[in-house]
Amino acid sequence: MGFFDILEKQSKEIQLSLIENRIKALTTGIKTEVTGDVLDNLLYLMLNAMSMLFIINDDYRKNIKDFTGTYVICSKDNMIDVSVKFKKVRVLGFEQDGMKVKDTIIDNPTSMVTFKDGKSMADFLLSGNPDVFVGMLNNQLSVSGNLNYLFKFVYLLQLIPDLLGIDEFQKLLKAS
Amino acid sequence: MCSKIGEVKNKLKEYTPDNLKEKLPLLDSLIELHRSVAAAVDIERSQYLTDHLKKTENSGIPMSIRRAQAISNYLSERKVFFHDNNMLGGATTGKALGAPVYPEYIGLTIWPELRTISTRIDNPQILNKEDADILNYEVFPYWLDRSISEEVRKVDPDRQSLQEKMIIYTISKAATISHTTPCYELVLKKGILGILCEAVEKEAKHDDDDEKSDFYQSVRIAMQGVLNYSANISREASKRANSEVDEERKKNFQRIAEVCKRVPAHPARNYIEAVNALWICQVCVFAENSNMAINPGRLDQILYPYFIKDFESGELSIEDALNISGSLWFKIADNVNLVPQAAEKLFGGAGAVPAITLGGVNKDGKDAVNELTYVLLKVTELLPIRDPNVNARYHPTENTADYRNEVSRTILTNKAIPAFFNDIQNIQTLVDQGETEEHARDYAVIGCVELGSVGRDYSASSSVFIPMYTVLYMALHNGRTTVTGDKSLWKATGKPEDFDTFEKFWDAYAEQTRLTAENAISLNNTYGKNHQEFLPTPILSAMFHGPMDKGRDLINGGSIYNSSGVTHIAFPDVCDSICAIRDVCFTEDNTDMQMSLSELVKAVDNNFEGNKLLEAYLKNKAPKYGTNHPIAEEISKRLIELSYSVFNNQENYRGGNYRVAYWTMTNHAGYGSVTGALPSGRRANVPFSSGITPVSQIDTQLTTSLNSVANLNSMHIPGAYALNIKYSPADPTHENVIKFGELVEGYMKEGGQQVQFNIQDYKTLINAKTHPEKYPHLLVRVSGYSAYFDTLNEAMKDELITRSQYNLSSGEFVPIQLEGE
């Protein structure tokens, strides 16, 4: 193994270590949010955790093979404005499927969810089994754009607690 | 009475629900199995369909052919299962009780639940990890932009978005081709080979006409799939017979092998061949179209020639006939719909609602009741299972009282099934819709309660759902809804203070009805056009009169009649609300309660908080539909007339019209549970009344209530309605049976179209809700179909509990007692 190969290997290990540390921090942040009173950052933390998990977890990344959906998640009270873009990203020198999260909205997303407010969003995320239709019927959220993309996104979200080693949200909530 | 009917009836007397185990051990074992098996998601069809469409994506082959190939491949390659000792070959899915995935419709709605659907609280459906992964990685991604709703969104995003608000209107074509009844008799007489040959000849004859040629080609391809499927059943049964050591089972497999080798390829020669051929056709129709209310039709008419020939020749005993017919009942009940959790909460508990129709008159208008009618009524009595949805046509002047009483006895015995349909009114209303008398007389019940001439009317009878409470809300809020912001949705039709007369308010209501109808019809037609492009139906088309002559698929107007159905949710509640508005706000001599419409609307929007007096008045004193009150009589008739005038002459995408109906399945309970208060005095989040049934717990005689319904103009309800009556339990004694039958007859003679019953009291239903483990298979009628009480959502259970109960002997209303055990 040449000098540059060793350097590259070390660089990758450092980057992976950084990502793992970042995931740990996000996990702690999510746990703190779920068990606390203020849930302002929950969505942002979960989406960031999602993007990190796509980098290091091959099985999870398999869910977004060649996937290019774009999403906007916002609230009527303007407390939440997040956009998510699934696209190819460069990771450790290679291009792979991934996602980008921004705290601004984008035009013409494939799918858009508007929560009534932050509480509605938190209730949805922490329900243990988020249901788009129930949310719509209860006036907690409205959707526009392609619903199938939203169903996929909710599925991806639901995998996160397990992947982060967080017990089901409901258990955490009960414990708190 | 025909002597054979007497002979058959005497033999049938030997069989009762109590001696099922001893007399019909096969059916007893099948009912045990049916009750013990859990629903499971079946992905096989979705895999074959998706794989084939992926492979042929850029092939240039027309969609009608690609889809026929896909379905044909699935039928040819799918695994053959024998889940039990049923006498018939063929199954809807590979599971004993399967929920097939239709990704082209609403299959993707379960995506968020792939990990949890097996363990969800409301009606879980088992899905193993391997199958969930296939759906997640292989099947669903293909349909992300291709499911029918997304195709529609590309054309009409605004109206599609309103559909997803869920309370403006519902277009069922997102989930189904819609309810209809094929003519399986065609297959029994011609055989699939006969149809295939016809398709080959016509394809050659029309090779210069692409549309016709493609259609016949698609039929040819699809029919080959049907043939391959039945041949595979035969082969597999033969293989099982060879390895089976149990003599009875060996014989059963041998018989299935022989039967499926013959039918449906060739015309049926005897009863079991006819029944199995019909069942295989139904399975193949489900392979092509989602399993929602595709109906076997008038079984006692279609199967009669085979039954009577075998019976008279001594080749078929009554015991055999009961076993074969009962086997068909269990086969029909082998599937349920795949639905997401929210839909279970709102509409849970439904089977696939295939309707069977018995009795009535024949094409000449004469009594069509025969020996097989009684056999199938006996099967209905012996097997209290959710599907099939059995319905009894009754012609008060042509059918005998003996038949009427036998239907009544069956209902009193199994406490829910069948429903009664009035041939006089229903035939007349179909003739009024332009059907010939002969065709109208050959109607079958579709799904819940809708009517359609068998194999002649591609009726799409559940196309549009109109939530009347939303229309009323818009009329009272200047065109706004609760889910579309502060602006009026269609049009500002006035604030409550603008209406200084009742007629001005009525005009606003009528205008909102018209605008809702216009938009719902527009979206339904857009869905229809997308069905034409993406979801042709060669198998179903081959089993209808018309398409093979015209060279045109059903969805392109190949059928003789081409109606669509529009049903209404919350008619009784909205009727009572409009009565209350007239009574309280626009009746000057009302000295008990008067207020402005603005005040009333404000009180309603506040859910009557601080207005107990008003709420009590509205509930107990205001005019109510079902009481023969003159205001209610007038308003109910005006509402019926309004919807008819708005919808009946509108044209659908196949050139047919829209037929108005009033049935609600369980929607009235689900939607009621998420809807605000109404001027009728109904509080927020309380279930609406079912179908056309007057609001519950009004102290009135049953006959008064029945008369109100019977007085509605059935010519203006061509899609039919569901009227639910709850009787206190009464034994099926001769006296009770006669009383029951006479009451139905009286109601029909007054003009009633349909009526269905629950023979249950408040206490039993309350106990069933509190202690579900004690009532695991309690069968009830909802609003159209039957369901197991414990599978219904809370709102629907409450609606069933609180439904008005009447005493059969006196017709008196029995006030609710809320204590259980």
Answer whether B112 sits within 8 Å of A151, measured CB to CB: yes
**In terms of pTM, does the model score above 0.90?**
yes
Q: Name the minimum distance, in Å, from the CA of A170 to any CA of chain B.
A: 14
| Per-residue CA distances from B245 to A157, B88, B241, B251 (Å) | 52, 20, 8, 10
For residue B820, pLDDT over 70 is answered with no
Main-chain dihedrals φ then ψ at residue B470, nearest 5 degrees: -70, -40
**How many angstroms away from the CA of B109 is the closest CA of chain A?**
6
Q: Give me the percent of chain B exceeding a pLDDT of 70.
A: 99
pLDDT score recorded for residue B399: 98
Closest CA of chain B from A143, distance in Å = 8
Burial of B757 (0-12, 13-18, 19+ CB in 10 A): buried
Q: Give yes or no for residue B289 having a pLDDT over 90.
A: yes
In this structure, the strands spanning B564-569 and B658-662 are parallel
The yes-or-no verdict on residue B648 having pLDDT over 90 is yes
Q: Measured between alpha carbons, how far is residue A70 from residues A83, A111, B369, B535 in Å?
A: 7, 7, 61, 28
Chain B nearest-CA distance from A128, in A, is 10
Whether A94 and A141 have beta carbons less than 8 Å apart is answered as no
Q: Looking at the predicted structure, is the pLDDT value of residue B349 above 80?
A: no
Q: What is the pLDDT of residues B360-406, one digit of tens each?
A: 999 999 999 999 999 999 999 999 999 999 999 999 999 999 999 99
Q: How many angstroms separate the CA atoms of B472 and B571, rounded?
A: 11
- Out of A132, A139, A151, name the one closest to residue B483 (CB): A139
User: What separation in angstroms does the CA of B485 have from each of A139, B477, B490, B521, B598?
Assistant: 11, 12, 12, 23, 20
* Count of residues making up chain B: 821
Mean pLDDT, to the nearest integer, of B679-686?
Answer: 97
Residue B464 and residue B663: Cα distance in Å, rounded?
12
Q: Residues B190, B267: contact at Cβ < 8 Å?
A: yes
**Chain B contact for A155, CB < 8 A?**
yes
What average pLDDT does the structure give for chain B?
A: 95
In chain B, what residues touch A138 (CB-CB under 8 Å)?
Answer: 674
CA A10 to chain B, closest CA, distance in angstroms equals 34
Q: Is the pLDDT assigned to residue A58 strictly greater than 90?
A: yes
Q: What distance in Å separates the CA atoms of residue B106 and residue B401, rounded to the nearest whole number?
A: 45
Q: Rounded distance, CA B513 to CA B186, Å?
A: 41
Band the pLDDT of B819: cuts 50, 70, 90: low
pLDDT in tens, B773-818: 999 899 999 888 889 999 898 889 999 999 999 999 999 999 997 6
Question: Which ranges in B93-209 belong to alpha helices (H)?
Answer: 129-134, 140-143, 148-155, 157-163, 184-205
For residue A123, name the pLDDT band (cuts at 50, 70, 90).
confident
Q: Name the pLDDT band for A170 (thresholds 50, 70, 90).
A: low
Confidence category of residue A80, pLDDT binned at 50, 70, 90: confident
Partner residue facing B112 (CB), from A139, A142, A158: A158
Average pLDDT rounded to a whole number, residues B759-770: 95
Q: Which CA distances in Å does A11 have to A21, A22, A58?
A: 15, 16, 20
What pLDDT is stored for residue B1 in this prediction?
Answer: 44
Q: Do A148 and B153 touch (CB under 8 A)?
A: no
Confidence category of residue A166, pLDDT binned at 50, 70, 90: confident
pLDDT at B78 over 50: yes
Question: What is the spatial distance between Cα B541 and Cα B549, in angstroms, rounded to a whole number?
Answer: 11
Q: What is the DSSP string of B303-364?
A: SHHHHHHHHHHTSS-HHHHHHHHHHHHHHHTSB-----HHHHHHHTT-----EEEEESB-TT
- The H-assigned helical ranges of B483-563 are 502-534, 538-542, 547-550
d(CA B720, CA B429): 9
Task: Report pLDDT digits (tens) over B694-713.
Answer: 999 988 899 999 999 999 99
Tokens representing residue B203 in the block: 């394809």
Q: Do residue A134 and residue B341 have CB atoms under 8 angstroms apart?
A: yes
Can you state the percent helix, strand and coil of chain A, rounding each to 5?
50, 20, 30
Per-residue confidence at A33, pLDDT binned at 50, 70, 90?
A: confident
Q: Taking 60 as the threshold, does the pLDDT of residue A176 lie above it?
A: no
Residues of B with CB under 8 A from a CB of A: 108-109, 111-116, 120, 136-137, 140-141, 143-145, 147, 149-150, 153, 161, 164-166, 340-343, 345-346, 482-483, 674
* H or E stretch at B226: helix B210-243
Q: Dihedral of CA A99/A104/A110/A116: which sign?
A: positive
Q: What is the mean pLDDT of the segment spanning B644-669?
A: 96
How far apart are the C-alpha atoms of A142 and B162, rounded to whole Å?
11
Determine the residue among B106, B110, B111 to mutate to test chain A binding: the one whose Cβ has the most chain A Cβ atoms within 10 Å. B111
Cα B248 to Cα B85: distance, rounded to the nearest angstrom = 9
pLDDT at B422 over 60: yes
Q: How does DSSP classify residue B367?
A: B
B154 CB neighbours in chain A (<8 A) are: none
Residue A125 pLDDT greater than 90, yes or no: no
> Would you kindly state where each structural domain of chain B is located, as residue ranges?
40-168, 466-688
Q: Where are the domains of chain A?
A: 3-175
Of A69, A137, A148, the CB nearest to B674: A137
Given pLDDT bands bounded at 50, 70 and 90, which one contains residue B488? very high
Strands (E), chain A: 70-75, 81-91, 94-102, 111-115, 141-145
Q: Which A residues, 54 through 73, put their C-beta within 8 Å of a C-beta on chain B?
A: 62-63, 65, 67, 69
Q: How far apart are CA A170 and CA A157, in angstroms?
A: 15
Q: Which chain B positions have a beta carbon within 8 Å of A146's beta carbon?
A: 144-145, 150, 153
Helix/strand/coil for A97: strand
Over 60: is that where the pLDDT of B2 sits?
A: no
* CATH code for residues A3-175: 3.30.1050.10
Q: How many CB pairs under 8 A join A and B?
A: 79
Q: What is the pLDDT of residues B217-265, one digit of tens each?
A: 999 999 999 999 999 999 999 999 999 999 999 999 999 999 999 999 9
* CB contact (8 A) between residue B166 and residue A136: yes
Burial B575-599 (b: 16+ CB within 10 A, else e): bbbbbbbbbbbbbeeeeebeeebeb
Q: Which of A162-166, B369-373, B735-739 has the lowest mean pLDDT?
A: A162-166
Which residues is B674 bridged to in the sheet? none
Return d(Cα A158, Cα A124) in angstroms, integer: 11
Q: Is the pLDDT of residue B759 over 90?
A: yes
B121 has a pLDDT exceeding 90: no
Residue of B nearest to A136 (CA): B165
Distant-in-sequence, close-in-space partners of A138: CB < 8 Å, separation ≥ 6:
B674
Nearest to A158 among B115, B120, B137 (CB): B115
Is the Cβ–Cβ distance between B691 and B664 less than 8 Å?
A: yes
At residue A1, the pLDDT reads: 72
Q: Indicate yes or no: CB of A155 within 8 angstroms of CB of B136.
A: yes
